[in-house]
């Protein structure tokens, strides 16, 4: 895949970039290694000062970088601005909270004495250069939610971003440079996927994090495992959105529209499978379908647009194949199910709701990465749980209910990294983010995320012979 900015609203190639050669990659690795040796010794105050400055710059740059993101991958420009500001908020959060999250941990006095120590504690140390392999769908956020905690922990970053967002990738390197981080603290590597293995195997790279497809995750994890290096993976999702009889159906349906089409439907944590109890199915389906049908599809740089194009022609083709397969096996399109007639250029697809889904359809098993929702009618809570868990993914989940017994059951039984009640899944720096099953492993954000790429070190001091 060429490294290029291709406007998904028009299909026009706007700018191309040459991939780094072997000598340039070697310089980047050497620089990262040397920088880490010094940067690891800086204090939290200095790291926080630098990261706060990066947040300030990002807030100032938000209108311009938002237009860059929209031009490269098609998200509505208002959502792109919100993404930039969320990144700045997360930088500030880690600048403030990292010292506490990585503070030494002291066991109780009785446990220390029992270990034979005069004192003992747990200390967190950085690992080194972390390779981040990141996707195009949230081209700032996916990177910052790795970079902010990693830099505050004393690590340095090497970014291999998706090949269709090179300008956003280069902006990130420039942002951290302008903020005053030492040269080599954060570097963007404009390379194709074929270069990842050699970079990851290099002994100067300590660990890797990847957000992306299941095949990409398998590839990176297997290489890292062969080198005995730590990885964190955030892969696909086919999140359930369960609506129970006690739910506020109107709010649930209204929120469901946003939950499905956020980021043009191209989000791992977007709700995709809408599992609705028979008692409220008809009311929900009517409201949800009307909301999907009323969305404005159009130019993502237009402030009034709700849904822009998919990021690539291949992405739209993949989505069309899933929908066409479902329709050919008996699914009903309550709305959409086609390309919008008014947009003949670019990679647009109409917001779609499919009902009468069966296990014979590919869309029952595969992730639909675009503005396409599937509707399921269930007769009981037990059936809702069964359908919700009938997927190889386990990223997040949404449940609408006002029954506390329902809440307890869903918390206990849903196979997912998150359970969001009476609202849609969202990420926040204070809360861990990640999944189970084929959605990956490890966690980003919160204290869990910052500790993923730390050497959790036991420090033990023997008892003084003169004591006692």
Catalytic residues: 234, 268
Residue 433 per-residue DSSP state? B
What is the longest distance spanned by two Cα atoms in the chain?
87
Is residue 276 within 8 Å of residue 388, measured between CB atoms? no
Q: Write the CB contacts of 331 (distance below 8 Å, at least 6 apart in sequence).
A: 354, 355, 356, 357, 358, 361, 363, 374
Alpha helices, H only, 278-422: 278-293, 313-328, 381-389, 404-413
Distance, in Å, from the CA atom of 97 to the CA atom of 100, rounded to the nearest integer, reads: 6
> Distances from the Cα of 467 to the Cαs of 111, 115, 119, 269, in angstroms?
18, 16, 13, 57
Is residue 297 within 8 Å of residue 305, measured between CB atoms? yes
- Locate 178 and state its tokens: 């302008």
- Locate 28 and state its tokens: 């980047």
Q: Write the CB contacts of 295 (distance below 8 Å, at least 6 apart in sequence).
A: 257, 261, 306, 307, 351, 371
- Half-sphere exposure of residue 299, counting CA atoms within 13 Å on the CB side? 4
**Edge-to-edge strands, sheet with 239-243:** 332-335, 352-355, 372-378, 271-277, 239-243, 398-400, 420-421
> Distances from the Cα of 262 to the Cαs of 233, 265, 328, in angstroms?
22, 5, 27
Is residue 146 within 8 Å of residue 130, measured between CB atoms? yes
Distance, in Å, from the CA atom of 270 to the CA atom of 137, rounded to the nearest integer, reads: 12
Is residue 307 within 8 Å of residue 264, measured between CB atoms? yes
Distance, in Å, from the CA atom of 80 to the CA atom of 136, rounded to the nearest integer, reads: 12
241 three-state secondary structure: strand
Quick one: CA dihedral 401, 403, 407, 413, positive or negative? negative
Distance, in Å, from the CA atom of 51 to the CA atom of 97, rounded to the nearest integer, reads: 12
């Amino acid at each position: 895949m060429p490294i290029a900015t291709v406007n998904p609203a028009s299909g026009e190639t706007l700018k191309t970039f040459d991939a780094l050669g072997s000598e340039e990659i070697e310089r980047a690795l050497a620089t990262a290694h040397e920088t880490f040796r010094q940067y690891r010794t800086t204090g939290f105050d200095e790291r926080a000062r630098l990261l706060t400055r990066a947040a300030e710059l990002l807030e100032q740059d938000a209108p311009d970088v938002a237009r860059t993101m929209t031009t490269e991958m098609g998200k509505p420009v208002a959502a792109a601005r919100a993404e930039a500001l969320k990144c700045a908020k997360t930088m500030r959060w880690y600048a403030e909270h990292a010292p506490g999250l990585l503070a030494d941990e002291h066991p109780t006095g009785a446990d220390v004495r029992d270990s034979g120590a005069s004192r003992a504690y747990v200390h967190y140390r950085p690992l080194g250069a972390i390779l981040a392999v990141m996707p195009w769908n949230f081209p700032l956020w996916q990177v910052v939610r790795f970079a902010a905690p990693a830099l505050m922990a004393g690590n340095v970053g090497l970014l291999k971003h998706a090949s269709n967002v090179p300008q956003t990738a280069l902006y990130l390197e420039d942002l951290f440079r302008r903020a005053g981080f030492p040269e080599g603290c954060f570097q963007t590597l404009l390379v194709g996927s074929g270069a990842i293995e050699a970079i990851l195997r290099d002994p100067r790279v300590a660990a890797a994090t990847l957000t992306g497809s299941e095949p990409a995750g398998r590839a990176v994890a297997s290489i890292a495992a062969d080198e005995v290096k730590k990885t964190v993976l955030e892969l696909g999702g086919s999140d359930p959105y369960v609506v129970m009889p006690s739910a506020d159906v109107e709010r649930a349906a209204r929120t469901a529209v946003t939950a499905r089409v956020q980021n043009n439907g191209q989000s791992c944590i977007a709700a995709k499978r809408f599992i609705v109890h028979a008692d409220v199915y008809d009311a929900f389906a009517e409201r949800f379908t009307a909301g999907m049908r009323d969305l404005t599809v159009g130019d993502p740089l237009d402030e009034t647009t709700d849904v822009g194009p998919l990021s690539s022609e291949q992405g739209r083709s993949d989505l069309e194949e899933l929908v066409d397969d479902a329709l050919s096996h008996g699914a009903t399109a309550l709305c959409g199910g086609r390309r919008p007639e008014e947009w003949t250029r670019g990679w647009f697809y109409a917001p779609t709701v499919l009902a009468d889904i069966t296990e014979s359809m590919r869309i029952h098993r595969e992730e639909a990465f675009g503005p396409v929702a599937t509707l399921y009618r269930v007769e009981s809570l037990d059936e809702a749980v069964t359908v919700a868990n009938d997927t190889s993914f386990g990223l997040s989940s949404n449940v609408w209910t006002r029954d506390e017994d329902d809440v307890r059951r869903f918390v206990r039984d849903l196979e997912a990294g998150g359970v969001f009640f009476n609202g849609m899944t969202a990420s926040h720096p204070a809360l861990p983010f990640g999944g189970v099953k084929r959605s990956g492993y490890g966690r980003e954000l919160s204290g869990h995320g910052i500790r993923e790429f730390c050497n959790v070190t036991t420090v033990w001091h023997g008892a003084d012979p003169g004591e006692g």
